[in-house]
Amino acid sequence: MKRFSELSLAFLLILLLVGGVFIAGCTTTQPTPATVTTQPTVVASEKPKLLIATTTSLYDTGLLNYLETKYESQNNVDLQITSQGTGKAIEIAKKGDADVLLVHSPSQELAFVKDGFGINRRSFASNYFLVVGPSADPAGIIDMTPENAFTTLLLKGTNNTAGVYFVSRGDASGTHTAEKKIWSNAKFNYTTNVQKSGNWYIEAGKGMGETLQMASEKGAYTFTDKGTYLSYKSNLKLVPIITEGPTLLNVYSVMTVYNDKQPVEKIQMANDFVNFLISAPTQADIATFGVDKYGEALFTPMSVKVPTAPAGIVGDYSTPATALKP
């Protein structure tokens, strides 16, 4: 009996030992998670945007892109540029979708300011419009005054003279406005006498560069600013036909767009850009722009020559833009 008890006790001890090992093996000790320190995400502050509505000629010539690079390198501002004909650029500005207006149609600019949409109008450069066409000059208008040339083009065009075609911007741009002014000076009603006068007169409804290309392909005459013509010249079959005349003056001006919802800070930013364009360093840059590539400057800054023109054509070109409201 004693022997049986000893065996039972031994058996019980063995069971306890095996059970302990089994329990220990089934128990997993979880490691203490390491403390993770989250670093705050650093987001670079976005540059404030300045929206510029401009005419196609300043864009097509490359001048505005050239000046954009210089301005952004000196200022913590991101210039956002939209290029349209002057009429469309003014519409954009009136809707409040632009902070700066940069165009070349004095009559439209003066109305824009008078109606309270713009302040601080400053003229910063000029060049001239040209009548360009095929070197054979089928209309025989070379060296005429712009008004006499247009009269001759109309007469020969409506009489179906061979090779006489005229491609107009037809888009209410500054260039188109200047063209219509010459028709008016020549005593023609643009809408009734010119616009629908025959297949010889073609309205492109496009920017200056595309209009020049269309005229070149057609072997037609067209009315263009000098800067865009020079920048496209190497790819065109067009030569200057009419280059002189008071009505060919082309003045570029800039102004701050105003509306009562515009923050003062944004108006000040726009004023800063206006002042950049009339500053001495920028005027010097404009004076040399294009010389290396075309042999002559595409624009004449006001610091080099202020053109003689009727009142209102050339705006203030030296007084800093400081006004914050009309």
pLDDT digits (tens, 9 = 90+) for 171-203: 999 999 999 999 999 999 999 999 999 999 999
Specify whether 211 is located in the same domain as 282.
Answer: no
Domain that holds residue 225: 128-248
pTM of the model: 0.83
Same structural domain, 145 and 217: yes
Looking at the structure of the chain, the number of domains it has is 2
Residues 108 and 257 in one domain: yes
Residue 302 · residue 146 · CB < 8 Å: no
From CA 240, how far away is CA 158, in angstroms rounded?
Answer: 23
Same domain, residue pair 172 and 218: yes
The strand ranges marked E within 46-200 are: 49-55, 78-84, 100-103, 118-133, 166-168
Cα separation of 242 and 232, whole Å? Answer: 18
Give the mean pLDDT of 104-117. Answer: 96
Q: State the pLDDT confidence band at 43, using cuts at 50, 70 and 90.
A: very low
Q: Do 118 and 132 belong to one domain?
A: no
| Cβ-Cβ contacts under 8 Å for 235 (sequence gap 6 or more) | 213, 216
Report the CATH number that the domain containing residue 72 is assigned in CATH: 3.40.190.10
Q: 101 lies in a domain?
A: yes
Q: What angle do CA 100, 103, 107 make, to 5 degrees?
A: 115
Nearest to 105 by CA among 131, 123, 78: 123
127-139 residue pLDDT tens: 999 999 999 999 9
Residue 29: inside a domain: no
pLDDT for residue 218 is more than 90: yes
Q: Is residue 33 part of a domain?
A: no
Considering the domain architecture, whether residues 67 and 83 belong to the same structural domain is answered as yes
